[in-house]
Amino acid sequence: MLSGLRRQWPIAVSLGVVLVGLAVVAMGHFRRGTVLLAFGVTLALFLRLLLAQDDAGMLAVRSKRVDVVVLAVLAAATSLLALWVPPPST
């Protein structure tokens, strides 16, 4: 069982970064948290792009091309959202 979980490290790392970003958003730092969230999705994108089908674990849902395109759109949209929202006025 442990060896099966070790094969899922790409999605675990990506989701860990996304969860940290969501926690930062929940603490009231929207822009910082959204940038972390975008970084987590971008990390998943590059892991899916660089790792072989067998090594990608649960990041490999569809064909590599479709997975990379979907993750690229999500990463771009999240990054755009993070940069588009104005910083809070103090």
Domain that holds residue 28: 2-84
Please tell me the distance from the alpha carbon of residue 34 to that of residue 60, in angstroms, as a whole number: 24
Total domains in the chain come to 1
User: Tokens 């996304």 map to which residue?
Assistant: 18
pLDDT tier, 16 (very low <50, low <70, confident <90, very high otherwise): very high
Task: Find where tokens 């930062």 sit.
Answer: 24
Cα dihedral sign for 49, 53, 58, 61? positive
pLDDT band at 68 (very low <50, low <70, confident <90, very high): very high
Asked whether residue 90 is assigned to any structural domain, the reply reads no
Q: Is 89 among the domain residues?
A: no
* Residue 8 domain-assigned (yes or no): yes
pLDDT value at 87 more than 90: no
Residue 90's pLDDT is 67
Nearest to 48 by CA among 3, 5, 13: 13
Inside any domain, residue 52: yes
